[in-house]
Structure 1
Amino acid sequence: MTDGVRGARCMVATGHPLAADAAHRMLRSGGSAVDAAIAADAVLGVVEPMATGIGGDLLAMLVRPEGGAESYNGTGRAPAAFHPGLLDTLPEGRIPQRHPLSVTTPGAVQGWWDLHRAHGRLDWAHLLMPAMQVARNGFAVAPVAAREWALFEPVLRQDPACAALYRAGGVPKAGERFANPALSDVLAAIAREGPDAFYRGMPAQAAAAAVQGMGGVLDAADFVAHRGNFCEPLSQGFRDLQVLACPPNTHGMAVLDALARLDGLPLAASDPQVFVQAVGAMGAAMRRAKETVADPAGNTVCTVVVDADGLAISLMSSIFKRFGSGIAVPGCGFVLQNRGFGFSAPGHINGPAPGKRPYHTVVPGAALKDGRFYAAFGVVGGAMQPQGQVQLLLRIAAWGEAPQAALDAPRWRLESDTALAIEAGMPSPVVEALRAAGYTDPVGSGELGGRSDFGGAQWVMRDVDGGLIGASDKRKDGLARSE
């Protein structure tokens, strides 16, 4: 179906069927879109441990039923004990990709709590029940998750606790069951006691001990000090929409910058040069973001929900690189994120400092039409996030494509100023135009072994008849469901 899933009242689009089930349980119980999104996100942290979890961060974009929007920044900060002198012996004075100094304070649990206090309806503990049950009873590992689990199995080996938790040397295959009772216990404590069970309890103390034991400086006091915040979104007109993005420390501004460069152009769908223009606009926008915010990369999950009252949320969480820092918290069932790798060298605007938030790749998005909700969306995949959003908005807002068809269409991905990966299935005239413009096929190794990640999108929009259309990316394990 190229149109997408249709529904009259509620819609969920998320990256795993069990997450969709959790969201619908909340909606059927009278919960809000925020309740549903939190429940789904908690499940995703169980079933996609290479992408997200309570050791990571959270950002969200919300559109209220009466119009107006707000974003939430739940990203964590560098430890208070961090100082640039710690980098003196490291290559180029940068924090390595997976290193004890790359660990920043997790913000996801506090983010769930803050969002629930502002927009939730159900009892807090009810939201975490599905994730607790899935972690306790186990689940069948989905195909895309199994493929990434195997691909990044070497990451698990650098920490004995991580290797034991995620079965290094015998990672689960697609369809094989995996359970995480330690994580279920931590979620149960959070359900009973709220975020203090995480930020002032055993998980914070065990995390600090694990990181410090490897030479890092994260401390239990950094957990106690963590705060998230609501803020006003950035916005930019594109065709007849007002597109919203989270402000820095994310690179959401790159989406709006690229759209501003494209909005005045004809953008005929039949013209291959439109792809050249789009890639050029995106490249310029990402260079500007790199100069004014930081350096991008990463991995994420996304859940989009619209409830029967019209409240919409795009909630995205992440532990950054696959399996984050690769440092597991003993006895707690999760790994810590490595967002500190997003810092630039000292002296850059994004240089590391005590208590500072690094450049963040997570960019939940939304769009208004005539001041009211039109769509909420997200594209996972680090640097693919702004690139994917621009490509989807080009197809849906400028070309009038149906959501699922737009999500299914082949994509491109800039990997440097001139290196452009092009997904299989892209029409030959477009490929020829892009290569003729000087964009070369990426070569080399690196963590992905030359494999480009074209992301995974979730999209929910209001149709002209007032109904909802949901679409979920086939590059991931998820789906869209109406209620």
Structure 2
Amino acid sequence: MSRTPLTGAIATPHADATRSAERAFARGGNAIDAALAAAATLSVVYPHNVSIGGDLIALVRDPSGRTRCVNASGPAASAVDRAAMREAHGEVLPYRGIDTVTVPGAVRGWEVLRRMGGQLGWEEIFTDAVAAARDGVPVSRSLAAAFREEEAAIGFDAGFRDTFLAQGLPVKGDALVQPVLAQTLEAIRDGGAAALYDGELTAGFVDGLARLGSRIGAADLLLFHPEVVEPLTTSFGSYRVLTSPPNTHGFVLLRVLGELERQGIADPLGADFGRMMERFFAANLVRDELLADPRVTSGDVTELLTGDATAHGDEPVLPGFRRPRGDTVGIAASDSSGWSVSLIQSVYHAFGAAVVEPSTGILLHNRGTGFSLDPASPNALAPGKRPLHTLMPVMVDDASGLRFVSATMGGQGQPQIHAQTLLRAMAGATAREAVSAPRAIVGPQRDGDTPSDIYVEGNLAAPARASLEATRLHIIETPDADELVGHANLVIVGADGGLDAGSDPRSDGAASVRGYAG
């Protein structure tokens, strides 16, 4: 029996991942399958940004028009001890090392997405990822730059050295081969997510973590299951904007879009750009002070959307807390059958914890460094609690249906990247134009930054730059098309149902819109 012809759109930050998504579409998959195949490949070829040892948060829209949020962010270990952490590290957790590792949620997240409507088996989704890990891939420009920039902060862990530094510091074009990870991916391909969380890989993984000093035990893996929840939404003009609720900072985008409307900020990409970025500055302070895991810490999302912070905005950090930065991948996928996915996956800082569990070859994220060690903070480290999270997928629809699927990296700046990208697309830009346009990010992107620092690409339009100069924000010049202002990926759905996709030139990515035969 022939299949119905399908048009599939995909945008990712690495061309190999985009090709994996295209192959998934060609094998009869939909946008879920394409996003999963891309995510699996990215977890091999882009280790400075993503691995299967990290977290995942996604929005999934089905053909009926219903959108759900999959929150696969893992919690702290049930045996974690904040007092012991304070004794070991002082007022704040380190950026890297085994004490920053929380339960990795990504693979369980993949499983949930696939069950929501995927058409392909694991073997078809993992084909390219396994081959990339086993046979090797050339080190990309972005990965090579990350190795150079992070050289002083990585290499303390034997598993990391054996995996990535055995032949010295990799440069662009070198072969990145990960045979142990290939075997792990094969086990997950054959046994599903349970292979890692309650199966073939679990005992070795847990034993390896324990030898490294982790408090994560077998029960933490067994009991972890992602949440499937309703998105956080707001209206903006004729649109409805959907994103992930707390423990993520998706509210920052909705808060600022609401302020643009209520306060009559009519030209947010031009003469009013400075006013918009001031509002992101204020929203960042609210996030840093109030955002936490709602399963553990009581709080009203209305306070996040409308409340004010009490923190002093010129301080580099709040007591006991380091503001979120981060390295991440964003995948935007949509198809003509009605499935769409915005998938965000991350190791948090570049190379995450910079620790590789030897038996599995899994690079571990450092999402736990987002916790506070201040017991008075809503975001204080506690057993089984999820940290404040920067991952935030976004979709936009209107009365006629889906209009935009937006996915970005950029750590604490993700809400701002979404806003600038979407506002351009709403004004009529193509997907490529929207993700390529010059932009700025306010807030800490590097160690030592303050909340009022704003990174500005040199080719930002003159009216927008002039409006920034009229604010009290501290402008830091950054080169054009700089990774410091994130990688954006966007799919636009036209009023006629036609698809357009754009991948950020700041990444190693590619976008594709193709028809697939029935």
Fold match by TM threshold 0.5: yes
Q: Give the SS at the match of 1:34.
A: helix
312, 323, 328: which is aligned to 2:356? 328
**Larger mean Cα displacement after TM superposition, 122-131 or 429-438:** 429-438
Note if contact 1:20-1:481 (Cα within 8 Å) is conserved in structure 2.
yes
- CA deviations on 1:21-50 (whole Å, 9 max, x unpaired) are 111111111112111111110000000011
Q: Give the SS at the match of 1:230.
A: strand
Rounded to whole Å, the distance in 1 between the matches of 2:352 and 2:26 is: 34
Correspondence 1:339 to 2:367: yes
- CA deviations on 1:90-147 (whole Å, 9 max, x unpaired) are 4553222113221100011111111111211112222111100111111122212221
Q: Which amino acid aligns with 2:501?
A: G
Note if contact 1:96-1:102 (Cα within 8 Å) is conserved in structure 2.
yes
409, 416, 431: which is aligned to 2:465? 431
1:60-459 paired onto structure 2 within 5 Å? 60-167=58-165, 170-201=168-199, 203-269=201-267, 272-293=270-291, 295-344=323-372, 345-370=374-399, 372-397=401-426, 399-415=427-443, 416-442=450-476, 453-459=484-490
Rounded to whole Å, the distance in 2 between the matches of 1:100 and 1:75 is: 17
**Larger mean Cα displacement after TM superposition, 311-320 or 207-216:** 207-216
Distance 1:404 1:268, change over 3 A: farther
Distance 1:201 1:66, change over 3 A: closer
1:462-473 paired onto structure 2 within 5 Å? 462-473=493-504
By how many angstroms is 1:275 displaced?
A: 0.5
Rounded to whole Å, the distance in 1 between the matches of 2:212 and 2:381 is: 19
TM-score by length of 2: 0.86
Q: Which amino acid aligns with 1:236?
A: T
Distance 1:462 1:271, change over 3 A: closer
- CA deviations on 1:269-305 (whole Å, 9 max, x unpaired) are 4984311111022122222222221542211111111
- CA deviations on 1:228-263 (whole Å, 9 max, x unpaired) are 021000001112210001011110011111111112
Note if contact 1:206-1:329 (Cα within 8 Å) is conserved in structure 2.
no
Rounded to whole Å, the distance in 1 between the matches of 2:249 and 2:12 is: 22
| Sequence identity (%) | 33
Q: Which amino acid aligns with 1:435?
A: E
Rounded to whole Å, the distance in 2 between the matches of 1:65 and 1:358 is: 33
Distance 1:346 1:213, change over 3 A: farther
**Larger mean Cα displacement after TM superposition, 203-212 or 67-76:** 203-212
Rounded to whole Å, the distance in 1 between the matches of 2:334 and 2:106 is: 21
Q: What is the total number of aligned residue pairs between the two structures?
A: 469
Gaps of 5+ in 1: 1-6, 444-450
Q: Give the SS at the match of 1:474.
A: coil
Rounded to whole Å, the distance in 2 between the matches of 1:407 and 1:37 is: 19
- CA deviations on 1:450-477 (whole Å, 9 max, x unpaired) are x981000010011133210101100000
By how many angstroms is 1:393 displaced?
A: 2.1
By how many angstroms is 1:154 displaced?
A: 3.0
Rounded to whole Å, the distance in 2 between the matches of 1:216 and 1:390 is: 38
Q: Which amino acid aligns with 1:422?
A: V
Rounded to whole Å, the distance in 1 between the matches of 2:463 and 2:254 is: 27
Distance 1:253 1:337, change over 3 A: same
Q: Which amino acid aligns with 1:478?
A: G
Note if contact 1:258-1:284 (Cα within 8 Å) is conserved in structure 2.
no
**Larger mean Cα displacement after TM superposition, 86-95 or 361-370:** 86-95
Rounded to whole Å, the distance in 2 between the matches of 1:255 and 1:296 is: 16
Q: Give the SS at the match of 2:24.
A: helix
Distance 1:268 1:293, change over 3 A: closer
Rounded to whole Å, the distance in 2 between the matches of 1:83 and 1:91 is: 12
Rounded to whole Å, the distance in 2 between the matches of 1:404 and 1:264 is: 30
Question: What residue number does 2:447 align with?
Answer: none
Distance 1:222 1:424, change over 3 A: same
Question: What residue number does 1:55 align with?
Answer: 53
Note if contact 1:8-1:467 (Cα within 8 Å) is conserved in structure 2.
no
Note if contact 1:73-1:230 (Cα within 8 Å) is conserved in structure 2.
yes
By how many angstroms is 1:178 displaced?
A: 1.5
* Superposed structure 1 runs of 4+ greater than 6 Å apart: none
Rounded to whole Å, the distance in 2 between the matches of 1:202 and 1:10 is: 35
Question: What residue number does 2:300 align with?
Answer: none
Distance 1:271 1:137, change over 3 A: closer
Computed over aligned residues only, the root mean square deviation of the Cα atoms, in angstroms, reads 2.1
Q: Which amino acid aligns with 1:314?
A: S
Rounded to whole Å, the distance in 2 between the matches of 1:239 and 1:303 is: 26
